[in-house]
């Protein structure tokens, strides 16, 4: 079974999220990675299929995990988040 970080586990539990993965933005910096979140709805806010609730939940989960890591002296090394629609 694949090991997933706590941030990935928490975000993948949100309704509308299909999967997550990391993308490195720099080969030189270990903290230069994005968490990519694939969702099963349209990410255009003007679309009828857009889910503001899921977007807000993803953002909140991301912030919560970052704060928990700081409180535990175990910072989460993720430089950002990217939400993409499923193809």
| pLDDT of the chain, 87 residues: tens digit per residue | 678 888 899 999 999 999 999 998 877 766 678 999 999 999 999 999 999 999 999 999 999 988 887 666 666 678 889 999 997
Contact predicate 19/7, CB 8 Å: no
Question: Does a structural domain hold residue 36?
Answer: yes
84 — phi, psi (to 5°)? Answer: -125, 145
The bridge status of strand 17-24 relative to strand 80-85 is unpaired
Look at residue 55 in the predicted model and tell me its pLDDT: 97
The rounded distance, in Å, linking the Cα atoms of 77 and 56 is 21
User: Which 3 state secondary structure label does DSSP give 25?
Assistant: coil
Position 68 in a domain? yes
Task: Please tell me the predicted confidence (pLDDT) of residue 72.
Answer: 66
The reply to whether 45 falls in a domain is yes
Task: Yes or no: say if 17 and 37 are a contact pair by the CB < 8 Å rule.
Answer: yes
Is residue 18 a part of any domain in this protein?
yes
Instruction: Give residue 17's pLDDT.
Output: 98
Counting the structural domains of the chain, the total is 1
- In the numeric block, the tokens 């953002």 are attached to 59
CATH classification at residue 69: 3.30.300
Which residues form the domain of 37?
Answer: 6-85
> Does residue 1 form part of some domain?
no
Q: What is the pLDDT of residue 32?
A: 75
């Amino acid at each position: 079974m694949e090991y997933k970080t706590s941030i990935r586990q928490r975000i993948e539990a949100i309704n509308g999220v299909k999967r997550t993965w990391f993308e490195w933005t720099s080969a030189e910096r270990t903290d230069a990675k994005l968490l990519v979140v694939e969702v099963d709805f349209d990410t255009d806010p003007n679309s009828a299929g857009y889910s503001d609730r899921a977007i807000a939940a993803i953002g909140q989960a991301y912030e919560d995990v970052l704060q928990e890591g700081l409180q535990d002296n175990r910072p989460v090394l993720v430089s950002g988040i990217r939400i993409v629609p499923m193809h």
